[in-house]
Structure 1
């Protein structure tokens, strides 16, 4: 099961799905609020908490009759992976996370000097953010293009055709608002996305892939995993930013095949 982040939806994995499907049943859902998934009451951001999201993943497994699976998470789903392997350990055969995020990440992410990179998380708290970003297709393109290109090792991350696929989805009714609600629920200055359970050490076999050129989740954050896992490996990937599945799809395919056996 491949779990996407922001800004994204299931399609961020499109470069790896076909090859992986020759070895696995590949399930790539849109998280609640994103893409074509349902958007619970958008006026209640609490419904977009990470806790609700991992419960969704568990419920999806039930609906599909899946007792156990291999799970891969990126960006927001790095947080979901940290929580899911603890609350639903019985579901996880092995895991993989791109750019690890642990409970230690919050104070760093929202603090100085990193606020120069994470400013958008507080912009998303405002009503005007949705209105501005969705005011036109070009405004939406300018906003999201910043994150695709700035967080990538080399810009542009996307071709014109690929960018249009994202814009078609972002401009659907309430998709931007649904994504921004994740920030309102989990990354406001008063939110608490991690529970006491999330501070426990996990024995899940998990691989962390860290792009060396990622400015928003920099390589130093991988140092935190030693506090939270006892059966892990970390691989640092040069010439790679935040989007390994787009920037280094062959590496991602290889590492999933190598680790998920």
Structure 2
């Protein structure tokens, strides 16, 4: 079984689209107004597989693999959030859509913010899960060493040229499993097969190198964020962190860049919102995006 053939209880179609220098893989389900869901590292479209079914009852759900990850092509450059957001904008317009509902998790959330900041007339509402935006001090403080290793050490480690790739290659299963276990509220939310989905995707040729590029581009993305923040978002935004991971830091970060923010902390949840609390995520998105319709 690959990341494209997961057992699902609703019809998901898989497609590819040529957008600039990329061949973007995306999953699509449902009909209606478009919702775009963006995953983070070290995942793929499959991070949203337990959420798509509920959303597809009302919306057209579009779930791409980001540049360099999953089954999307893996160029050498272009991993800053502005460029990746433009990839997604190209996909959206190629599908005949202009204005979307947008949600992101982890790096997908950072890309979602960059999308909303660059294409301000192209987003109805934005939802952010388990990410602190680079460039405003909150993430940078979370990267500061703490006793017991209880800090976001990987953000700095993975930004170093060459060494992370040399140490992780061939050990992707050990390395990635650590994150799924340690950043979850309840590690049993992941079966061995769940983890294997992402490990297999990360061992595709070029995936590990490309995934690390998001971290090597950290300061470029941070500078882009601080520039966007000079003009705060005016659309409704929700921001949620998991109780066992980023907590209220996610909303605190988004409060710095948007005027109309709601959200808080998801109970009994760590970082992996799509596997740990899919019913909360789907319910929140249906309620939040559906307000006023």
Q: TM-score range by the shorter chain?
A: 0.7 to 0.9
Distance 2:67 2:224 in 1: 16
Asked whether the 8 Å contact 1:97–1:207 carries over to 2, the reply is: yes
1:175-211 Cα distance to aligned partner (Å, 9 max, x none): 11110011111258x9735241233221111111221
Show structure 1 runs of 5+ residues with no match: none
Q: What is the match of residue 67 of structure 1?
A: 98
Closer, same or farther in 2 for the Cα pair 1:120/1:176, shift >3 Å?
A: same
Q: What is the match of residue 250 of structure 1?
A: 279
1:190-247 Cα distance to aligned partner (Å, 9 max, x none): 9735241233221111111221111xx3424523433322222113211111111110
1:84-131 Cα distance to aligned partner (Å, 9 max, x none): 211111110111111252342343233354985222223222313223
Asked whether the 8 Å contact 1:99–1:222 carries over to 2, the reply is: no
Asked whether the 8 Å contact 1:33–1:175 carries over to 2, the reply is: yes
- How big is the alpha-carbon RMSD for the aligned residues of Structure 1 and Structure 2? 2.2
2:245 equivalent to 1:196: no
Closer, same or farther in 2 for the Cα pair 1:126/1:23, shift >3 Å?
A: same
Distance 1:38 1:86 in 2: 25
Using the TM superposition, name which of 70-79 and 15-24 deviates more: 15-24
CA shift, 1:65, in A, is: 1.0
Q: What is the match of residue 172 of structure 1?
A: 204
Counterpart of 1:26 in 2: which secondary structure?
Answer: strand
Distance 1:227 1:17 in 2: 30
Q: What is the match of residue 152 of structure 1?
A: 184
Match of 2:152 among 110, 118, 122: 118
Q: What is the match of residue 108 of structure 1?
A: 141
Give the TM-score of the pair, scaled to structure 1.
0.88
Q: What is the match of residue 239 of structure 1?
A: 268
Distance 1:239 1:170 in 2: 28
Closer, same or farther in 2 for the Cα pair 1:163/1:99, shift >3 Å?
A: closer
CA shift, 1:40, in A, is: 1.4
Closer, same or farther in 2 for the Cα pair 1:191/1:74, shift >3 Å?
A: closer
Distance 2:100 2:140 in 1: 32
Q: What is the match of residue 20 of structure 1?
A: 55
Match of 1:205 among 208, 221, 236: 236
CA shift, 1:76, in A, is: 0.6
Asked whether the 8 Å contact 2:145–2:153 carries over to 1, the reply is: no
Match of 1:127 among 155, 162, 166: 162
1:33-67 Cα distance to aligned partner (Å, 9 max, x none): 101111112xx4xx211111111111111111111
Counterpart of 1:89 in 2: which secondary structure?
Answer: coil
2:70 equivalent to 1:8: no
Distance 1:33 1:180 in 2: 10
Higher helix share goes to which structure? 1
Closer, same or farther in 2 for the Cα pair 1:93/1:186, shift >3 Å?
A: same
Distance 1:147 1:61 in 2: 31
Asked whether the 8 Å contact 1:213–1:239 carries over to 2, the reply is: yes
Give the TM-score of the pair, scaled to structure 2.
0.79
Distance 2:173 2:59 in 1: 34
Asked whether the 8 Å contact 2:251–2:264 carries over to 1, the reply is: no
Closer, same or farther in 2 for the Cα pair 1:123/1:8, shift >3 Å?
A: same
